[in-house]
Amino acid sequence: MTSPVRYLAEAGFLSKFYIDGEWRKPAGSAAVSVVNPATEQPIADIALGNDEDVDCAAAAARSASASWSMTPPADRAALLNRVHGLLLERLELFAQALTCEMGAAITYARRAQVPLAAEHIRVARDNLANYPFVTPRGSTAIMREAIGVCGLITPWNWPLYQITAKVGPALAAGCTVVLKPSELSPLSALLFAEVMDDAGCPPGVFNLVNGTGPIVGARLASHPQVDMISITGSTRAGVLVAQAAAPTVKRVAQELGGKSPNIILPDADLSRAVPLGVGAAFRNLGQSCSAPTRMLVPRSHMEGVETLAAAAASELVVGDPLAESTTHGPIANRPQFERVQTMIDVGLKEGAKLVIGGPGRPEDLQIGLYARPTIFSNVHRDMRIAQEEIFGPVLAIIPYDSVDEAIAIANDTVYGLGAHVQGTDMETVRAVARQIQSGQVHLNHPDWDPNAPFGGYKRSGNGREYGLEGMEEYLETKAVLGFYR
| Residue 254 near residue 462 (C-beta atoms within 8 A) | yes
First to last CA, the chain: 63
The set of catalytic residues is: 255, 289
- Determine the pLDDT at residue 131: 97
| Residue 42 near residue 133 (C-beta atoms within 8 A) | no
Q: How far apart are CA 360 and CA 345, in angstroms?
A: 10
Q: What is the pLDDT of residues 166-192, one digit of tens each?
A: 999 999 999 999 999 999 999 999 999
The low-confidence residues of the chain, meaning pLDDT below 50, are: none
Q: What is the pLDDT of residues 407-428, one digit of tens each?
A: 999 999 999 999 999 999 999 9
The total of other beta-carbon atoms located within 10 Å of residue 59's CB is: 18
Q: How far apart are CA 113 and CA 117, in angstroms?
A: 6
- Determine the pLDDT at residue 1: 76
pTM of the model as a whole: 0.97
- Determine the pLDDT at residue 217: 98
